[in-house]
Chains A and B, each alone.
Chain A
Amino acid sequence: MNRLDCEDAGKLIERHLDGELGASGSLRLARHLERCERCRAKRDALQAQSRLLRAHIQAAVDEADFTGFEDRVMQGLAQQPSAPLFERMRIWLREALYHHRAIWITSLATAAILLAVLLPLLGEQSRAPQPEPGTPPARHEPHPRESVARANNELIIDSMEYGGQRSMIFTVSRNHTTVIWLYDFDETGPADGQGDDL
């Protein structure tokens, strides 16, 4: 196990204090702290800072008077008209899109690929020569290339997930096309949404 230097230890101290460091990282950090006074001082400073802030906020909460809090909220509700339907729909739609975005993305991607593959096929079929009325339907002898195309006219859809990323693989053996669709599926969302919620 490599020894930590102070720079690396500094990065681990915060994660350790936040309970976000694994067992092996904590062990390496503990070994470093045993022999490094400067890093110990940094850890102690961070702990003291945490305690100060917690105590400061806690004291303010303890001083606050919550008597009648619920009643005041209920009064406020009675005074305010209910949210407009459009606004409620907007919030509902945004929440739905955000929380079920994996389903939306997968569905849209599948639909897009299916359209991209099926539309040209339908176009080819409509361009095929129609038999004259009254003539018996002739046995269709497929063109060698066409028969190959129809025999292997398969659409293979596969998906896999790895390390928070998802991929969808569409293989169309008809035209030897493989589409690999990679998309990030991070629970935390793509951007800082501060200030835009409600």
Chain B
Amino acid sequence: MPAADDKQLVRRARRGDEKAFRALMEKYRRKIYAIAYGMVRDPEVAMDISQEVFIKVHRYLGSFQGSSSFYTWLYRIVVNLSIDHIRKERKHESVDYDDMILRREPDDDESWIVPTVLDSDPHEAYQRKEMAERIGRAFESLSEKHRAVLILREVEGQSYEEIARVLRIHKGTVMSRLHHARKNFQRALNRQAREGREARQARPEPAVGRAEAPGA
């Protein structure tokens, strides 16, 4: 990420250069939206949060020290705003696997088996939609801390060091949190796959097959 460009744009935006601020928005809006969407899983809310991020950035640009990267600051704001939103809107307790509890659990290798049902029939639109919903639901079952660390690593491709700076946690905590997040995500995917299999088994036979019977 060219930090030098950011510094220049931030400097100009601080002086009130609207073009520079718009350039920063254009550069980061997709990334910010991706994080917000991953966190809140609602396109409209994610868009609102993304806009709010830039409003906050503009308001507090004068307070930005410049010693950390601009995107680190930006990512921290979007993660925090998303977490605030989740906490406000939470209707039910998320499946927040406590890290301490997980450490006491045996390392069951079964949970690392890729749920084959998620890869099945990828060309069929219906299946794809269903698959997307299942992935979304599995991800939604994670705690917000686990979601944040997974998105920053898997979607934004940030290093442990960068994630640590964004979330203001130690690098060791990033590694351990990522491990537990992945494990929980895998378990949730397996659960979704199992439920999908059961739903398909319970579904009635397609009408096309039955229509052929009288003529046969």
Contact = CB atoms under 8 A, between A and B. Distances in A.
Interface of A: 7, 10, 14-15, 18-20, 38, 41-42, 44-46, 48-50, 52-54, 56-61, 63-64, 66, 69-70, 72-74, 76-77, 80, 82-83, 88, 91-92, 95-96, 99-100, 186-189, 191-198
B168 A83 contact: no
Contacts of A198: 56, 60, 77, 80-81
A19 B159 contact: yes
Given A49-B186, A69-B29, A195-B84, A188 B65 contact: no
Contacts, number: 162
Contacts of A192: 167-169, 173
Interface residues of B, number: 72
A74 B18 contact: yes
A20 B161 CA distance: 10
Most buried by A among B52, B60, B145: B60
A15 B175 CA distance: 8
Contacts of A59: 132
A81 B77 CA distance: 19
Contact of B114 (A7, A49, A77): A49
A42 B22 contact: no
B10 interface: no
Most buried by B among A50, A56, A80, A88: A56
Most buried by B among A7, A69, A74: A69
Interface of A is mostly: helix
B124 interface: no
17 contacts: A7-B107, A18-B160, A48-B119, A49-B114, A52-B189, A56-B135, A64-B30, A64-B37, A66-B33, A80-B55, A92-B65, A100-B67, A189-B169, A191-B168, A194-B83, A194-B167, A195-B87
B80 A195 contact: yes
Interface of B: 18, 22, 25-26, 29-30, 33-34, 37-38, 43, 46-47, 50-52, 54-56, 58-60, 62-65, 67-68, 76-77, 79-81, 83-84, 87, 107, 109, 112-114, 118-119, 132, 135-136, 139, 145, 148, 150-151, 153-155, 159-161, 164-165, 167-171, 173, 175, 178-179, 182, 185-186, 189
Interface of B is mostly: helix
A48 B114 contact: yes
A48 to B, nearest CB: 5
B74 to A, nearest CB: 11
Given A63-B43, A91-B63, A56 B139 contact: yes
A44 B112 CA distance: 9
Contacts of B109: 38, 42
A63 to B, nearest CB: 7
Contact of B107 (A10, A57, A70, A72): A10
A56 B136 contact: yes
